[in-house]
Structure 1
Amino acid sequence: MALGTCGRFFRSCSVLSARALVCARQESASCLLTAGNGGCSQRGRVGCIFTPACLITSEAFVSRLRRGKAADGSVYRLPASVPADRGEQLSLLMRHPDQPHDPKVLKVAVIGAPNAGKSTLSNQLLGRKVFAVSKKVHTTRARALGVLTEDDTQIILLDTPGLTTPSKAKRHQLEKTLLVDPWDTVKEADLMVVMVDAGDRWMCSRLDLEVLKCLAQHPQIPAILVLNKVDLVKAKDRLLDITAHLTCGVVNGRRLRIRPVIKPPWAEKKPERDLESSPEDNEEQSSSLSKEKLKELRTQQGWPRFKDVFMLSSVDGEDVETLKKYFMAAAKPGAWQYHSEVLTDQSPEEVCTNLIREKLLEYLPQEVPYSLTQTIELWQEGTDGEVDISVKLYTKKETHMKMVIGAAGQMVAQIAREAGEDLSRVFLREVRLKLTAKLRK
């Protein structure tokens, strides 16, 4: 009897120890799940949230990892960034889209006059600074693509150079991409966003003629009006007046009812549109528009076919979030074009030169930054994941080179430091950027 009692005691102890072992394993797996989001991480990037393998079959585990499913069944995506290696970026762009069963997509072309805030808005929507931004005109020199992926929806942002005329491009020796890219980009868009700087008193009273031409050539593409920099407008009731002018008093087929404000006679004078034109101005962009239509557009203040109007500040998170939700709701069922990790179609070298040009435009006066050219001489990845980049700036004049270098090299050092910090946030790793200046003979 005593032996039987001892036997039952040891058997119960073994069962308790086995249960304790199972609990310990599950607890350790839970700790790994909670603290180990980087369990599949690489170079500091968050990997995938997963259910511990001891609780599901290996086949289901692999299948769930491939689909990017989290432990609770929701979709978890890697934080989008730009790989610092050109090959990795190209491989990422060629990856098959990891779309859900019912994907939705929307292509948005952001157009407007130079310096309206198009790139700033695109950066805010993406949540990361990818496109160059400055207070000077023509910062964006070519079309750039950004990808915003959330849940089952992919928004493709097409950031374009400011619309300009061939005569102005020739006068200021601008690249051909500034003339061609905006028009080519609109053709592939599902939605046009027309941005207007509401803080510019001379430009906000009527749409730019080139913008009107673009809208008139593609009336079948839905368009919305975005009044940017509304925080700079002190008299907020003036925004309604601006809206009435830019929409011709009609939004989404309905006439606006805005109570008129009595103004003194001197305030009724409106700035005249720049009617500077030449035969070149109507060669390419206006080929499909008749002379009568062009004449009508020159006297037209706005566009009466806007579907909606947004008033925002590109640097205000809540305003940008409202516009993002609008894009998400407007997305239509369709296949994704990019993997969810893609942030932009630009190569890392293009991102680098664009962000350097941004700093040059920001700190150098007048025409100096427009005359500079860049050459990447070194692009090397270190053992700890850091990236060493060396870029040489070529100037046309000795005086320009002195401006770039600055007193005791402070200017070029500041530009390199700030551009390097922006690149670190884009590549999600440390970037050591070195800039040197040389006179091009």
Structure 2
Amino acid sequence: MAAPGRRGAALFQAVLGVWQLGPVAGREWATRLTLSLGFQRKCVSCVAGAASSGPLLASASRRYGQSSALDRFLGLCQPDSSLTPGVPAVPVHKDEQDLLLVHHPDMPENPRVLRVVLLGAPNAGKSTLSNQLLGRKVFPVSKKVHTTRCRALGVITEKEAQVILLDTPGLISPIKQKRHHLELSLLEDPWKSMESADLVVVLVDVSDKWTRNQLSPQVLQCLTQFSQVPSILVMNKVDCLKKKSVLLELTAALTDGVVNGKKLKMRQAFSSQLGTPCPSPAAKGPNTQSVGCPQRTGWPHFQEIFMLSALSQEDVKTLKQYLLAQARPGPWEFHSGVLTSQMPEEICTNMIREKLLEHLPQEVPYNVQQKTVVWEEGPSGELVIVQKLLVPKESHVRILIGPKGHLISQIAQEVGRDLMNIFLCDVQLRLSVKLLQ
């Protein structure tokens, strides 16, 4: 087997050459290409755990799944009205995803681009909103905090506009990062994303009565440090509010009564909380300079306000059209077939972790280590995945397996369904639980 780097280079050069062959010759050549790269069918060893397998999906290329990126390159994909219009699938193989990410963007004559950073407190709904904007679930979502562990990139491409979404971890303080032994990426990544942002979307969960009255000190510090970057406020989960009048009060508090340079003519709410102290130097992000920070609960420089539910397609569509309209003239960064920069195995691991967070109690899911041992094509062309879940305690093994193995089976089935929607091919997922040695 050739080294991965040389295999990827060979694939890239070969695909450039096949464009001149035409559809019929290209189809035959593509089959030989996948065999030469080691994607041939292999026997799957028996692994204890659960399996999920759904109906086989019709495909122009069974080997790569329906409407794969390679199919689009070769002109082999067939139209299918069941697919979400304009939303590409994620390739199932790393080589194909690598090829897609380095492929020259297929830009129109007048391309426009916008880099958007989503900021907010942990569990504000950033990943849910990102998935809805993309039209396909590629980021993990959980009610537990810190589901997103690092920067994740998603791409929306419509007509001449390309919007690049940077879904960041929830902003936390260095004190919390050290106290809970969290990855340094949770602290640093949002700040790194801001350096290349064209627009900042600040997300606030208005259903959380304990945090909704003011922006967190970390969000305010980030906005202050990068005050030259335009920003908008998205008030999420408005459908959970019984009294819609509360939205007016929250708007006044979160904007300091000013939107797009204009003073809001409404009573300032929560005046007793306006004296929130500035974050101490220790609570500021990395590489943050000391800047003046007036005592406030909100940010008076938002250009627009959106009130929505991230689960409502109609609400999200309005925000999506706004983002596309804000795109500026400039070259695209990605081919239109790119949906995310994440690798296929990374997406799978994150989706499994999402279900672990959802189904396991307290600290148990945070102590699970994941190891993918099989990622290959099965006998019928399905994607076969086997992943080991390693836990530090025997009690955790019993918890994760569940009575008669029902819990681990449920997790495998739920993740399998998600992966079929992401990759648009049949997926068989097997999970095994072992004690960490």
The question of a shared fold, defined as TM-score above 0.5 by the shorter chain, is answered with yes
Deviation at 1:417, TM superposition (A): 0.7
Q: Which residue of 2 aligns with 1:142?
A: 150
The reply to whether residue 324 of structure 1 matches residue 320 of structure 2 is yes
1:132 partnered with 2:162: no
Question: Matches of 2:59 and 2:387 in 1, distance apart?
Answer: 34
Gaps of 5+ in 2: 1-57, 80-84
Select which of 353, 357, 369 maps to 1:361: 357
Q: 1:199 to 1:271 in 2, by over 3 A?
A: farther
Q: Please show how residues 234-313 of structure 1 align to structure 2 within 5 Å.
A: 234-258=242-266, 270=273, 280-282=282-284, 284-285=285-286, 287-290=288-291, 293-294=292-293, 296=294, 299-313=295-309
Pairwise mapping of residues 38-437 of structure 1 onto structure 2 (< 5 A)?
Answer: 41-43=60-62, 45-46=66-67, 79-258=87-266, 270=273, 280-282=282-284, 284-285=285-286, 287-290=288-291, 293-294=292-293, 296=294, 299-437=295-433
* Structure 1 residues not aligned, in runs of 5+: 1-38, 49-64, 71-76, 262-266
Q: Does the 8 A contact of 1:45 with 1:79 survive in 2? A: no
What is the one-letter code of the residue matched to 1:305?
H
**In 2 relative to 1, CA 422–337 (structure 1 residues): closer, same or farther, beyond 3 Å?**
same
Amino acid in the other structure paired with 1:182 = P
CA–CA distance in 1 between the matches of 2:99 and 2:205?
38
Q: CA deviation at 1:381?
A: 1.1
Q: 2 CA distance for matches of 1:431 and 1:47?
A: 15
Q: Paired residues, what number?
A: 369
For the Cα contact (< 8 Å) 1:378–1:388, is it kept in 2?
yes
Name the SS for the 1:307 alignment partner. Answer: strand
Structure 1 runs (4+) greater than 2 angstroms displaced: 39-48, 267-277, 279-282, 284-287, 382-385
Greater RCO (CA < 8 Å, at least 6 residues apart): 2
What SS does the corresponding residue of 1:148 show, helix, strand or coil? Answer: strand
Instruction: Kindly indicate whether the alpha-carbon contact (under 8 Å) linking 1:134 and 1:361 is maintained by their aligned counterparts in 2.
Output: yes
Deviations 1:226-263 (A, max 9, x none): 000001111001001000000000000000112578xx
Aligned AA for 2:199? L
> Given that residues 47 and 78 in structure 1 are in contact (C-alpha distance below 8 angstroms), is that contact kept between their aligned partners in structure 2?
no
Deviation at 1:426, TM superposition (A): 0.4
Give, in whole Å, the separation in 2 of the partners of 1:287 and 1:40. 50
* Structure whose alpha-carbon radius of gyration is higher: 1
Query: Is the 8 Å Cα contact of residues 78 and 341 (structure 1) preserved in structure 2?
Result: no
Say which is worse superposed, 392-401 or 220-229, in terms of deviation: 392-401
Richer in helix (by share): 1
Distance 1:271 1:430, change over 3 A: farther
What is the alpha-carbon distance in structure 1 between the residues aligned to residue 314 and residue 250 of structure 2?
Answer: 22
Shift, 1:46, TM fit: 4.5
Is contact 1:153–1:328 with CA below 8 Å preserved after alignment? yes
Q: Distance in 2 between matches of 1:175 and 1:151?
A: 38
For 1:276 and 1:171, how far apart are their aligned partners in 2? Answer: 17
2:410 paired with 1:440: no
Q: Tell me the CA shift for residue 170 of structure 1.
A: 1.2
